[in-house]
A and B are shown apart, each in its own frame.
Chain A
Amino acid sequence: MMSADVENGMVPSDATSEFLRRVYELPAGERLLSCIQCGMCSGSCPLGYAMEYTPRKMIAALRAGRIEDLYRSASVWLCVSCYNCTFRCPSGVPITDRLIGSLRGDMLSRGVGVPAELQAAFEKTTRYGNPFGESPKKRPDWTKEAGVDVRVLEEGDSAEVLWWVGCFPSYNKRNQRDTIALARILSALGVDFGIMGSDERCSGDIPCTSQGEEGLFFSLYEHNSDQLRNRKFKDLLVGDPHAYNAFKKEYPRLGTPLPVRHYTQYLAGWSPELRRVMKKELRAKVTYHDACCLGRRNAEYEAPRVLLESVPGLQLVEMPRNRENALCCGGGGGGNWLDSFIWQRTRVPLPMQRVQEAAKTGAQILAVSCPLEVPRFEDAVKTAGLEGRLGVRDVSDILAEALGLSGGPS
């Protein structure tokens, strides 16, 4: 029971003081103190209009000692970790990682206000190492359809490139097409590569997507870093920008530096070679959507564009909101599991807005480099009535077509 003084905001609640103490101990956590209440975050947030507490107001509530108000609000769960606020904050406050991430962690450990859909994804990831609740043994099953040899690296094995496939690319039927495309490209380039098969688990892109389940992240980190340590490789290749962020930023923080590259960065290094062998013309207008975790979060805007521009016949056009201003697909921050929760409070899905922006450029293809975006944008294309006008394709799939590697098992 809160005392009247706490209720009136005369003194901060114990929970608020405790929370702030913990945040200040985190790397750059004390920067929360330098918030100047300018509201840049709230204005930049693509879902700020639906938040009872925007990031600025959250900080104001904490300063007033009223964390309990945030527990009672859904605002904390509307964040889709697009990093617009963090990117634009003039005071360098790590809003997404520290404010939202820590608030979610706090609510998770108190068991207050956590949407059930997110809990289910956590439970499945804890138990099976993927958020779908699929069998860990079936993770490498897609390789049977690949039509090229994909080596599974056992402990002690080595390869030039260790390819971290990821959960969506391994299990999701639609994403598997792009996974197979990438396998064929690597194989056609003669790259010595291998995957970890069923020893791979979710990368734990949880801190980066600020879902707050730090304990789950840590247990995945422990499993994965052990598995990686037991194999030799020069490059760690990933297709999922969230995994890229986790391996680039979070794993080193815990003592495991990794030579990680997003597949678009890796293949951009091969672009002279690719240009030589790409025979098939792809006469299409294509617009590229920057994934938040690759773009704003990790400043990679060029590699996917270099690859797309190397495709004969392909004309790359830009949406008005591109690169650091790109609109989020709404799948980060656990948003992929919270679509209906967020929809009930916003009614205007982000992926729907984004595919409409893409269609307005006159492009026939919306190119993406994050596996979450393929199913999200394809669904949005259907609901927006753009079917037949706008296709959604991963960069790997476009490259494979230009290389003549698409179609049934070869």
Chain B
Amino acid sequence: MKVAAVLRQVPDVVEELVIGADGRSLSEADLMYVTNEADEHALEQALILKGRDGAHVVAISSGGDEARAALASAVAKGADEAYFAPVPFASRADNHHLAATLASVMKGAGYDLILTGVWASDQLDAGLGGLLAAELGLPYVGGLTSVSAPAESAKATVRKEFPGGRLGVMEVDLPAVLGIQSAENPPRYVPVSKVMQAKRSLQAQTIPPAASHEARVHLRKLTKPEAATRAEMISGSPEEVADRLVRILRERGVA
């Protein structure tokens, strides 16, 4: 069983996002990157399959140089192979481009399962898994919370939580692309010393970007959200705040 886990590097929103001078992109100098949260779950699910069924796990990280750090951490956690897919800054939010790039190394490489996070915070359209499946001609199912694929089996059994509190159990023919919402357990911790060790000895193969890709979706403008209604911040001593609150509630006829 050969399993790939895709680790996209996305802007870390702990730092304030700054819109660049062109008004269409984020200012690169102010950005800090982090592995997409759902992708961390995809890796965890792959590692669970390794522990349970002896799967061979390949971590593939995309983005800028910081993707190498994500690979070191994946190897320290137990990934067997590492691939780095550099994506130029301008194409970072383009799922079509990323799917084409990733498909170029996945095609014919013998993967039984390709796991991605069901969505990424820099795109929100949950597009990568489906596009990748289309590029590879494989089935896709997303929003999963568990995957079981015993060695030598031709199918994977997956679970998906539907809104309204219903759980679906599905069988998928292998090979397949799966979009992971959350792994069966939270992403494991790996001590810093092991990550450092992995960083020093990391051997990541680089995936060349897909050729002849023409973007057909164009970002026109990036802005801060416009405030629809004004919020009033009440300040002062607890007594003053309470007085003001009571007055507002009376005015609105609530109390």
Of the candidates A114, A116, A135, the one whose C-beta lies within 8 Å of that of B15 is A135
Residues in B neighbouring A127, C-beta threshold 8 A: 34
The answer to whether A216 touches B194 (Cβ under 8 A) is no
Determine whether B163 belongs to the interface, using a CB cutoff of 8 Å to chain A: no
A26 to B14, CA, bound (A): 38
Task: Classify chain A's interface size.
Answer: 20 to 34
Task: Classify chain B's interface size.
Answer: 10 to 19
Residues in B neighbouring A216, C-beta threshold 8 A: 191-192
Given contacts A114-B189, A119-B189, A214-B193, could you give 8 more A-B pairs where the C-beta distance is less than 8 Å? Answer: A109-B191, A109-B193, A122-B189, A135-B14, A135-B15, A215-B196, A216-B192, A219-B192
Task: List residues of B whose CB falls within 8 A of some A CB.
Answer: 14-16, 34, 186, 188-196
CB within 8 Å for A134 and B194 given contacts A116-B186, A119-B189, A122-B189: no
Residues in B neighbouring A126, C-beta threshold 8 A: 192
The answer to whether B14 touches A215 (Cβ under 8 A) is no
The interface residues of chain A, by DSSP majority, are classed as: helix
Residues in A neighbouring B15, C-beta threshold 8 A: 135, 137
Of the candidates A108, A128, A134, A135, the one whose C-beta lies within 8 Å of that of B189 is A108
- Complex: chain B residue closest to A216, CB-CB: B192
Determine whether A218 belongs to the interface, using a CB cutoff of 8 Å to chain B: yes
Mask of A89-111 contacts with B, CB within 8 angstroms, 1/0? 00000000000000001001101
A135 to B192, CA, bound (A): 20
Determine whether A46 belongs to the interface, using a CB cutoff of 8 Å to chain B: no
Q: Could you list 16 A-B pairs, sorted by A, with CB under 8 Å? A: A108-B191, A111-B190, A114-B189, A122-B189, A123-B189, A126-B192, A133-B14, A134-B14, A135-B15, A135-B16, A213-B191, A213-B192, A215-B191, A215-B192, A215-B194, A215-B195
A54 to B173, CA, bound (A): 52
Of the candidates A128, A133, A135, A218, the one whose C-beta lies within 8 Å of that of B193 is A218
Residues in B neighbouring A119, C-beta threshold 8 A: 189
- Complex: chain B residue closest to A116, CB-CB: B186
Mask of A201-217 contacts with B, CB within 8 angstroms, 1/0? 00000000000011110
A126 to B70, CA, bound (A): 13
The answer to whether B189 touches A111 (Cβ under 8 A) is yes
Of the candidates B14, B186, B188, B196, the one whose C-beta lies within 8 Å of that of A111 is B188
Q: Nearest Cβ distance between residue B251 and chain A, in whole angstroms?
A: 29
Residues in A neighbouring B191, C-beta threshold 8 A: 105, 108-109, 213-216
Q: Nearest Cβ distance between residue B52 and chain A, in whole angstroms?
A: 15
A123 to B191, CA, bound (A): 9
Q: Nearest Cβ distance between residue B167 and chain A, in whole angstroms?
A: 23
Which 7 pairs across A and B sit closest by C-beta, in order of nearness? A215-B193, A215-B192, A119-B189, A216-B192, A108-B191, A215-B191, A135-B14
Of the candidates A109, A116, A122, A219, the one whose C-beta lies within 8 Å of that of B194 is A109
- Complex: chain B residue closest to A110, CB-CB: B191
The answer to whether A128 touches B14 (Cβ under 8 A) is yes
Q: Nearest Cβ distance between residue B30 and chain A, in whole angstroms?
A: 9
Residues in A neighbouring B190, C-beta threshold 8 A: 111
A219 to B194, CA, bound (A): 12
Residues in A neighbouring B192, C-beta threshold 8 A: 122, 126, 213, 215-216, 218-219
Q: Nearest Cβ distance between residue A210 and chain B, in whole angstroms?
A: 15
Residues in B neighbouring A122, C-beta threshold 8 A: 189, 192
Q: Nearest Cβ distance between residue B51 and chain A, in whole angstroms?
A: 10
Interface residues in A186-200 by Cβ distance below 8 A to B read none
A133 to B15, CA, bound (A): 10
Q: Nearest Cβ distance between residue B235 and chain A, in whole angstroms?
A: 12
Q: Nearest Cβ distance between residue B34 and chain A, in whole angstroms?
A: 7
